Every structure is written in C-alpha cells, then in structure tokens.
Chain A
C-alpha cells in the first residue's frame, strides 16, 4: 500500500451485465437466491480484480448485493415498508422506504458482514465496511410513524452502531458510514453529529463518512466536528470549488480528507492532467499525510467501462503526482 496519497473508492460499482441479467431473472423467479448470490460473488470478484489491477490502496466491495444505499437497509430491517419508485434525477428512481413502525434489526443483525467477509477473502488489501448513516436513512425515507425526525434518527443510530460493531468484530479495519444528506439542513447538523457519535462510539476501526452534493458553505466548519476519522467529499463535480471553501478554515489535524477527483455523473472521462491539477490544488490546503484520493461518489451511475476508465485516470494522476513529488 502506498504511503502517500492513498487511493480508494466511495462505495458502489456498476453492476456488470451478467449480474443485471441475474437480478432480472431472480425477480421473475427463474433462478434461486443461491444462484443470484453466486452472480453477486462473481461481480464482486470483478470489482476486486479491477482495484488490484489499478493499484488502488483501500478497497470497496462494490455493493453488488444492494440496489439503493438506503432501501437496502430498509428492506432488511423491521419498521419499514417500500414505496413505489420516486425519481431522484434524470431517469433514476428508487423505492423510497416508508417508516411505518419502530425500527429494529430484527433477524438482519450483521446484515453487511457476509458480503464484506467474502470480498475481504478475495484480496490482501483492506476492504471498507460500508454502512449508510442514520441521518441519511431518515432523510431519504418517508416518516409515517415517529413523532419527529430526531427520535427516528437516534433510533436508527443505535441500529447502525450495532452493524458497525458487527463489521469490526468480523475484522474490518475501515468502516464507512455514508451521510450524503448531511449537507442539506445546517439547522440539523448537531443532530447528525449526535447520531454519528452513537454510531462510532467505542469503535477502534478507522471511521469514514462520505458527504456529497450539498451546500457545504452552510455546514463548514461545523462538519469538522463529525466524530469520524476521515471525511470523504466530492470536488470534481464543481471543478474543485469545494477546495476554495475548505481553504477558509484550517484543516483539522486529526482528520483525513478523501477527495473526489472524478465526476461520477457525467459520461465524460476526465484527463489525467485535470485530475492532477485538482490534486495539486488540494495539496495546497490539506497536509499530504491527511489526503486520500477517490471518485466523487459511488460509481454505480456509470457503465462498467466508464467506471473503469475514470478509476484508471484517477490512478494515473495520483501516480504521476507521487512521482513528480518524489513521494514513492
């Protein structure tokens, strides 16, 4: 693993065509759950192999078993029902969960462990355990049961904490708790921080939170108080304007930044030079030891070929900066 400018990914990878076909066949009851899982495992092998080939440092398992980052937990935990699809952008839709009763793990305790274990067994690189944060699960669900958002968020925080503990006990050295909704309501930042403190309480694994697509100006520097070791933020989507915001505040010494350097919502493949320029701008304000490099967000919105090419550009850009700076 590189010592400087470690590379990683945010979470999801596009599902290869074979897995898409298997999921469709499973919905039509043409294959068994075991056969679907075999297809998911094969797709995970492809995700791991690609990261090996590109020299990525900290791996993800690609979330081949998940449809949507919130719905996946809602489908398996108690207290939720599933809505008809709701559009999130373009022609992308998701089944927005409906909270209809008290949320609980039920029989799904340790839900994310098996997929993590399978991926971890495929590589010697560390693989991140991937969770969705309580604030985002609340925000991206319809609440038809709890009297207020706070009580739902805090109940969810206890569930996510149990899941994080299960991942840590299974051996995960990195646990990522995604909170993309956190940047939407500055008035609730304290609630999100309180909930994350419940989630990460007592964990020894390195904790990460991915936050994206929001008005960061309204939540900085308060975001630095989120009790995780690493913040993972998108920058390429707005031509690295985020760095101008970050430059207004001293970067906290005890926090890492994983910086998104390729836009996951465009077909265009960035050039190595523009990614290098973004990394160099980041190095002007973030200490080298605190900086990691990754895509803006999960890659599932891209085709497999686009995701591969974007990661390849990212890896080349990082390698070039390492060599030019004598960082190897």
Chain B
C-alpha cells in the first residue's frame, strides 16, 4: 500500500513558523520585501514536503502553497484567459476566481514549471502536480470566445498537453488531473466525450515519462470506473467519503490501473481510526493487489485547520505502518 497527498495543504502553521498569511499581510503593509515574501513561500513549501516525507508518504504535492486556487497557475500560463470574480468551489465555503476565456487559448508556460521545480528541489520524495481536469475546467470557466464546447475542448486538450510536456523537464513524477466536476455533475457530459478527450490528452501509453492520474471527488464516481479504466492513467483516485459505494466495487473487481482511495475525510475534523480504515482496506488490497493501492485524503487538506491537517497526514503514516508492517 502506498500513500500520497492530494493537492492543497494549509499555508499557515499550527504553531510558530513561517506563514503565507502573515507574510502577505506584512508585505501589503510594506513591512516585508518581495524577496522576504518569496522566501516565506519557499519555507512553507519546504514544511509541506518535509511533513509528507517524515510521514513516510510515497508522493507529495507542494501543498499548492503559491496557488490562489486550482486554476491559478494554469491561468497564469495561458494567454487569452484571466481570473475574474469569485465563485464558490462546489459545496465548500471556499471561493475561486473563475477563469474567463476571451480569445483562443495559447500556452505560454513558465509559472507552473518554475513552481514545480522549486517543489522538486525541496522534496525528499517524488512530487505530484495537480492540474484542473478538462471537464472541471470547462464546468467552472466562463467562455466568452468559443461558443462551441467541442472547439474549446479541443484547444484545451492542446494547451494542457503542452503544459504536461513542459512539466516533464521539472523533475516531477506525476500529473494528477482533478475532476470533481465529473463526480459532481456526472451526467452533464456523454461518457464517450470524456473518454475520447482524455484519450487525446494522454496519447498512447509511453508518450510521456510522467505518471498521469485522475482524481474524482465530492460526488459519486462509480459510473466513471468502466469509462476510464482502459485509458493509460497510472492511477484512478476515488473519494470514498462522498461515494462509499466505490468500496464494494473495488473490493470485487480488479482494475487495470492502480487505485487511489480517499479514505480520510479531508473536510472533517473527526479523526478516523486506523484499525477501522485497515478493515475497510484489506478486501480492496486483496482484490487489487497490495502494491497497486494508494491511500490518501478525500481531497486537498486545505479545508482543514493546520493542526488537523497534520494529524490526517500522520494518520496516513499510521495506517501504512499497520498495513505494510
């Protein structure tokens, strides 16, 4: 069994230590220089990747420490897209600046690759970069240019493909496509459309040296299992908190891809019992194979206060020790 972070992580400490929040406040008051603010970001990224490594996780993100939201670096790296008004991120008391597309998408690159290189240089374990999935981007962006979902999707695939190509040179191990919209608004897109879009994005197996995984969360995901498993994803991740039915499916059928299980509720301060999690996990390990199952929080941990987020990471460590010995 392997363990990983899922995306975001609190940008503030549970106790003393560097805080992005405080640094930004002080920077805006003229009490910190740009260099000092930059240094704070680096220290916080280091804290996140160190936490993951110390907890014996197999992969980590940079906690999306520099990110305003899931779309932020992608919007920075594309021309003819800008961040506009705040919208609620699904059912969370968290708000993102929705991307507005004003012209044909062009990839310029630079920001995400630089941030990713920084995470790699700080981390003792392999790094994953999370990107908004194609359909989550389509669902939450505002199109003022294409007025054709097919044409927009085609161009989006092109620029996301370029994004992945650029990330290959940064030293990261994995790109994770986050698709809460597929789980939340499952019926909005024909399954063939979703399948073909990801087929086009991923290309044939071996196109890139990077692992590419897909994460479904905040809604039912079982209906996507058969649609997505013949694609060359390195892992399909499911949110067992919002879709417990996925557990019985994964206990019964071995999937051709590795499986990620969001067993820890990343939006609840209640701490799970490792023994109870292990009991849920064992039939899935038996069905999928013990080295083909990843366990992780149900989504990014930034929805929790920093003390509870750290406890959830350490819970992953306890669970892994319990299962792997």
Contact = CB atoms under 8 A, between A and B. Distances in A.
Given A144-B269, A184-B90, A87 B308 contact: no
B2 interface: no
A87 B44 CA distance: 15
B224 interface: no
Interface stretch (A42-50, A91-99, A198-206, A243-251): A91-99
Q: Is the interface of A mostly helix, strand, loop or mixed?
A: mixed
Interface residues of B, number: 32
Contacts of B270: 142, 144
A8 B161 CA distance: 49
Contacts of B283: none
Contacts of B302: 86-87
B95 A142 contact: no
Nearest to B25: A91
Contact of B12 (A85, A238, A266): A85
Given A184-B88, A184-B91, A87 B10 contact: yes
Contacts, number: 76
A78 B90 CA distance: 30
Nearest to A212: B88
A214 B88 contact: yes
Contact of B305 (A85, A214, A266): A85
Contacts of B1: none
A213 B93 CA distance: 10
Nearest to A264: B86
A214 B304 CA distance: 21
Interface string A108-143: 000000000000000000000000000000011011
B86 A185 contact: no
Contacts of A185: 91
Interface in A175-190: 181, 183-185
A10 B154 CA distance: 42
| Interface residues on chain A, size class | 20 to 34
Interface in B96-117: 96
Nearest to A90: B68
Contacts of A85: 12, 21, 305
Contact of A265 (B11, B85, B304): B85
Interface string B283-325: 0000000000000000000111111100000000000000000
Nearest to A187: B91
Interface in B1-55: 10-12, 14, 20-21, 24-25
A98 B12 contact: no
A57 interface: no
A89 B86 contact: yes
Nearest to B28: A91
B93 A98 contact: no
A20 to B, nearest CB: 12
A59 to B, nearest CB: 26
Interface in B252-272: 268-270
Interface in B70-92: 85-88, 90-92
A80 to B, nearest CB: 12
Interface of A: 83-91, 93, 96, 98, 139-140, 142-144, 181, 183-185, 213-215, 237-238, 263, 265-266
